[in-house]
Amino acid sequence: MLSLRKGRYRARFAGTQAEVLAAQRLRTLAFRGTAESDLDADPFDDLCDHVLVEDQRSGALVCCFRILPLTGGREIARSYSAQYYELSALEAFEGRMVEMGRFCIDPAVKDPDILRVAWGAMTAYVDDQNVEMLFGCSSFHGTDAEEYLDAFAMLKERHIAPKRWLPKVKAPKVFRFAQKLRRKPDARLAMLRMPPLLRTYLLMGGWVSDHAVVDSHMNTLHVFTGLEISAIPPARKRLLRATAT
């Protein structure tokens, strides 16, 4: 059972439906800007394990995400991401996989340790379950690609998925940044506009699809993101495992 305590935060699995509801409420606030909006919930919530990161001093929920374990690529069609990306290439992946989704942090809490604890919890889970690939949808806020052109240009230049795993287009509305962009990225602007979760994936050797899905329902642009655990640099693995213990 997942349980990690670091500093003022602890990470654990939700154990009750009430705790899953608390995660859904935090997601609603983080993704839609108000807790008064329709609850962020979907049928995948019943299939996933939900990870909660709480402030041990106040008991407040400050971060959450959900994980969907798969025995291998042959189950990729069960994933949330498969609704938006044609993922048949990944059916050949033989190792255990985990889809990480709906990651969010309370917008009112600004503490980089929260992200570190969340990744520490995921690292502990990956090691315990012998997971060989993490994947999911990494989201940019809003649907205006013009705001993120340097970030997308950097993804095109440095981080497109290997051809053997490259997702194909499935969603009706996409931004094909690998085809359309001809600009040289401004590295500083690119990293400023890159979502923190995606930035962390990339620092570990992650890769992305060659297009972004325009998701009007969630008010996001998102890219399919994959991370092969064997590709994580040894120094980065040591840092992650130090956080996970």
pLDDT at position 208 over 90? yes
Within 10 angstroms of residue 192's Cβ, the number of other Cβ atoms is: 11
- Domain total for the chain? 1
CB of 148 closer than 8 Å to CB of 66: no
The pLDDT assigned to 8 comes to 93
Containing structural domain, residue 193: 3-243
Contact 142, 151 (CB under 8 A): no
Q: Which phi and psi (to 5°) does residue 69 adopt?
A: -80, 140
The pLDDT value recorded for residue 38 is 87
Q: What is the CATH number of the domain that holds 153?
A: 3.40.630.30
Most confident stretch, 27-31, 159-163, 180-184: 159-163
Residue 43 CB-density burial (10 A; 0-12 exposed, 13-18 middle, 19+ buried): exposed
Indicate the average pLDDT of the chain. Answer: 95
Query: How confident is the model at residue 71, as a pLDDT?
Result: 97
The mean per-residue pLDDT over the stretch 182-210 comes to: 94
Q: How far apart are CA 29 and CA 106, in angstroms?
A: 8
What local confidence, expressed as pLDDT, does residue 2 receive?
A: 83
* Cα separations in angstroms, 103 against 24, 26, 120: 11, 10, 14
pTM across the whole model: 0.94
Residues 7-35: pLDDT tens digits? 899 999 999 999 999 999 999 999 988 77
* Beta partners for residue 225, in sequence order: 136, 208
Q: What's the rounded mean pLDDT across residues 56-63? A: 96
Q: What are phi and psi of 109, to 5 degrees?
A: -110, 120
| Residue of 99, 103, 117 whose CA lies nearest to 197 | 103
pLDDT per residue over 65-80, tens digit each?
999 999 999 999 999 9
Q: Tell me if 185 sits within 8 A of 157, measured CB to CB.
A: yes
Task: For residue 221, list its beta bridge partners.
Answer: 140, 214
Give the DSSP H/E element, type plus range, for residue 102.
strand 96-105
pLDDT of residue 185: 95
- What is the pLDDT at residue 28? 94
Instruction: Please compute the mean of the pLDDT values over residues 175-192 and round it to a whole number.
Output: 95
Amino acid identity for residue 245 in this structure: T
